[in-house]
Amino acid sequence: MNLSCSLWQDNSPSVKHFAFAKFSEVTEQCFLLFTLILLMFLASLTGNALIALAIWTNPVLHMPMYFFLANLSLLEIGYTCSVIPKMLQSLVSEARGISREGCATQMFFFTLFAISECCLLAAMAFDRYMAICSPLHYATRMSRGVCAQLAVISWGVGCIVGLGQTNYIFSLNFCGPCEIDHFFCDLPPILALACGDTSHNEAAVFVVAILCISSPFLLIIASYVRILAAVLIMPSPEGRRKALSTCSSHLLVVTLFYGSGSVTYLRPKASHSPGIDKLLALFYTVVTSMLNPIIYSLRNKEVKAALRRTLGKKNVLTRG
């Protein structure tokens, strides 16, 4: 066992503190990785914050599609903030430790934001389905109240799953080693440190992944099958182009998020590799969060116009 880990333990049978594994023994590599991740983290925070602010402050964007997009941006901010700051500290400091309570807190918030995003992406697909396949009833069926309920359900499911999974995993004892072979308190690497039989916990993680990753994904697929069928029978090429344009950004975000998440949590345990898991985790915690605001702002004229107006207002206030 790592000496620093053993010093963190008291006389109780369970480890009270953990330590994240080093990214590299080479200082220059850690500094380079720190710089890249910091830049992506700042870009993600700035981009998502600007999109959320532009949507809330521009009445022209007060419609269901952008309401969900603002919620997605808030989720991305929480998602990255729950993981990246501690990771950046571990890259440039010898203080790589985290308490059992701190680890549980990080796991809860990471799970909350990740599961909420799965559900919210499904709600966004349903919104596009209603807009394209049932335009005459769209205003009534996707009212402000319905959109708020879908957002609350998404956040609520994330909170319930986060509490349940975190409590279930941290009810176990951890006998050591206490070094987490990862850069944050994700479920599989923490379970790997637990004492005794963890098959029930692993089964619970897999079942939750099936229900909260696969089920929303299947709803998204079903929505887009119906959307594609409706688009193909549209008489106007311009109408088909516009309909597909409103869906393309969402489809790209879904592909990035669900692709990396599914490979991480739905593949068999025997095929897990710490190196691949870390690479995938970097992708879905840092890269996708940075790309999402870029994808939506570049492919949506209304969002770009709202961002310009928001930035213009900031410049006027700064000069004043």
Q: Is residue 203 part of a domain?
A: yes
Q: How confident is the model at residue 30 (pLDDT cuts 50, 70, 90)?
A: confident
Tokens (6 digits) for 96:
């790589």
In this structure, the strands spanning 179-180 and 17-20 are parallel
Q: Which of 7-11, 16-20, 72-76, 177-181 has the highest mean pLDDT?
A: 72-76
Higher local confidence (pLDDT), 111 or 212? 111
Q: Is residue 108 part of a domain?
A: yes
CATH number of the domain that 284 lies in? 1.20.1070.10
Please list, in sequence order, all residues whose beta carbon lies within 8 angstroms of the beta carbon of residue 43, skipping any fewer than 6 positions away: 290
The predicted structure's pLDDT at residue 194 = 85
The predicted structure's pLDDT at residue 267 = 65
- Which of 3-12, 109-118, 188-197 has the weakest average pLDDT? 3-12
Model pTM score: 0.85
Q: Is residue 15 part of a domain?
A: no
The predicted structure's pLDDT at residue 152 = 96
Q: Comparing C-alpha atoms, which of 254, 269, 274 is closest to residue 23?
A: 274
Average pLDDT of the chain is 82
Q: What integer is the mean pLDDT of 242-263?
A: 80
Q: Buried (b) or exposed (e) across 269-297, using 16+ Cβ within 10 A?
A: eeeeeeeebbebbbbbbbebbbbbbebbb
Q: What is the dihedral of CA 163, 169, 175, 178, to 10 degrees?
A: -60
pLDDT (tens digit per residue) in 286-306: 888 888 888 877 667 777 777
Looking at the structure of the chain, the number of domains it has is 1
Share of the chain above pLDDT 90, in %: 30
Q: Is residue 38 part of a domain?
A: yes
Q: Is residue 13 part of a domain?
A: no
The predicted structure's pLDDT at residue 38 = 93
Res. 13: pLDDT tops 60: no
Q: Is residue 200 part of a domain?
A: yes
Res. 316: pLDDT tops 50: no
Tokens (6 digits) for 162:
């986060």
The parent domain of residue 72 ranges over 27-305
- The Cα 170–Cα 173 span in angstroms is 7
Higher local confidence (pLDDT), 311 or 36? 36
Q: How confident is the model at residue 2 (pLDDT cuts 50, 70, 90)?
A: very low
Q: Is residue 8 part of a domain?
A: no
pLDDT (tens digit per residue) in 57-116: 888 888 898 899 999 999 999 989 999 998 888 888 777 788 889 999 999 999 999 999
Q: Is residue 312 part of a domain?
A: no
Tokens (6 digits) for 47:
């981009």
